[in-house]
Amino acid sequence: MPVLDDLKSLLVTYKLCNRCLGRQFFYACPWIPTGIKGQIVKKIVGFVAAVNDDSEKECYICEGIINQLEDIGEKILDKLGEYEFKSYKIGTIFPPDVLEREDEIRSLIYPVDAASIKVEFNRYLDNFVCNRTKATIDNRDPDVKITVNIPYNTVHVDVKPIVIAGRYLKHVRNIPQTSWACRHCNGVGCEACNWTGKEYGTSIEDLLINAILPYFEGERGVLHAGGREDVDVRVLGSGRPFTLEIISPKKRNVNLEIVERDVNEKYEGVIEVKGLRYVDKNYISRVKSEMERAVKTYLALVKSEEPIDDASIEKVVDRLKGALIHQRTPRRVAHRRVDRVRLKRIYDVSIQRVSENMFKMTLKCEGGTYVKELITGDAGRTKPSVSGILGLKVECVQLDVIDIGEFNGEKK
């Protein structure tokens, strides 16, 4: 039989281990392990000398790599041991020369049922991990991605981040949203910052991460908020939407009601979180992009150097309610924002007098309105402004965000 003779002479020229030979008939009787299949084929073609030959290191295709399979499986389980996961994906990187040599052999015997060494590896590892962990294979969006690098003999586990969405309230002033480096030492640590390297002792991001990260045993956390208030501005009422991304979490099944309760007990009177829930990663960019447009309501305490009469207060309400204001990029942010004029709608205004030269003003504005500048006029860069209408120099003594509208997709 010429075919068998060809195969026999091929085996004489190219030494193949049982599994690499058996794999050339992978899809024929797929329940038989490739190692056994290889033995059978060698017997059939009369390549008796090699039937019990275990010296796979000399295999022309794999040079013994196939023998590492079981060890790699154990190594993967070892790496996965500390992580909670329900789904996984395994990828294998092979030295290109192994694949090239396999192609070369195939071009000599034209097997119709062959599978590549990659397929044998991945199938074995997939089944092995599945049997031992009861997790399922998910090639689209798995909880863990496992990369086996054969040339470097490494197993790398990449864990999908956990993303939590919610809203935060900030009940006190002078906590920034994220940490700023100390302006004296630029983050190195000095006397002025009490060796913390931070301009403000803490940040909303720090507080949330300190409280939430331990539940997930994550490596680190990143806060992504929908917009940012000035450091001296409180966030009350409905709170500001945010997402917290937890990188490399070991735990994934945490009851967020408990987390929420604990955060709120821990930081009572300082910050508060509401509506914590799990979301997927693309929600992060949605919060960031959609929030710019959300309608926001502010409460400002405005002070003038001179007394203000009732008629002037009425004039401010009349002129600003429903107005479209022209707002050139404020001087205080000009170094980091493009200098241009923005048109912003003021939906509603109401004023309550506090004293003869002070009043509280509630402003419902289009997202992205600079409220402090709407009050002071920013040296004529915002028109109209409270200062401009009054014809007086006024300052915004205190500012609170009291409502941030819902954005598309935030509703459950």
Residues annotated as catalytic (active site), given as ranges: 230
Beta carbon nearer to Zn ion, 184 or 326: 184
Query: Does residue 66 touch Zn ion according to CB under 5 A?
Result: yes
Q: Is 108 exposed, middle or buried (0-12, 13-18, 19+ CB in 10 A)?
A: middle
For the CA atoms of 242, 245, 246, 252, the dihedral, rounded to the nearest 10 degrees, stands at 80
Neighbours of 318 (CB within 10 A): 12
We find the least distance from the C-beta atom of residue 280 to Zn ion, in angstroms, to be: 38
Considering only 144, 169, 182, 390, the residue that binds Zn ion (CB under 5 A) is 182
Q: How many C-alpha atoms does 388 have within 13 Å on its Cβ side?
A: 16
Residue 173 near residue 231 (C-beta atoms within 8 A): yes
Evaluate the CA torsion angle 207, 208, 212, 216 in order and state its sign.
negative
We find the least distance from the C-beta atom of residue 207 to Zn ion, in angstroms, to be: 20
Query: Does residue 193 touch Zn ion according to CB under 5 A?
Result: yes
Considering only 69, 135, 190, 213, the residue that binds Zn ion (CB under 5 A) is 190
We find the least distance from the C-beta atom of residue 180 to Zn ion, in angstroms, to be: 11
Beta carbon nearer to Zn ion, 24 or 243: 24
C-alpha closest to that of 369 among 397, 406, 404: 404
Q: Is 381 in a helix, a strand, or coil?
A: coil
Which one of 6-14, 64-72, 203-211, 279-287 is the stretch in contact with Zn ion (CB under 5 A)?
64-72
Considering only 11, 41, 62, 175, the residue that binds Zn ion (CB under 5 A) is 62
Quickly tell me which residue has 């429903």 as its tokens: 322
What does DSSP say about strands 162-170 and 234-247: parallel, antiparallel, or unpaired?
A: antiparallel
Considering only 8, 79, 171, 184, the residue that binds Zn ion (CB under 5 A) is 184
Beta carbon nearer to Zn ion, 66 or 313: 66
Considering only 20, 150, 157, 401, the residue that binds Zn ion (CB under 5 A) is 20
Alpha helices in 45-116 (DSSP H): 69-80, 96-109
Query: Does residue 17 touch Zn ion according to CB under 5 A?
Result: yes
Query: Does residue 59 touch Zn ion according to CB under 5 A?
Result: yes
Q: Is 299 in a helix, a strand, or coil?
A: strand
Beta carbon nearer to Zn ion, 20 or 80: 20
We find the least distance from the C-beta atom of residue 98 to Zn ion, in angstroms, to be: 9
Which one of 61-69, 299-307, 310-318, 332-340 is the stretch in contact with Zn ion (CB under 5 A)?
61-69
What does DSSP say about strands 271-279 and 234-247: parallel, antiparallel, or unpaired?
A: unpaired
Per CB under 5 A, residues contacting Zn ion are 17, 20, 59, 61-62, 66, 182, 184-185, 190, 192-193
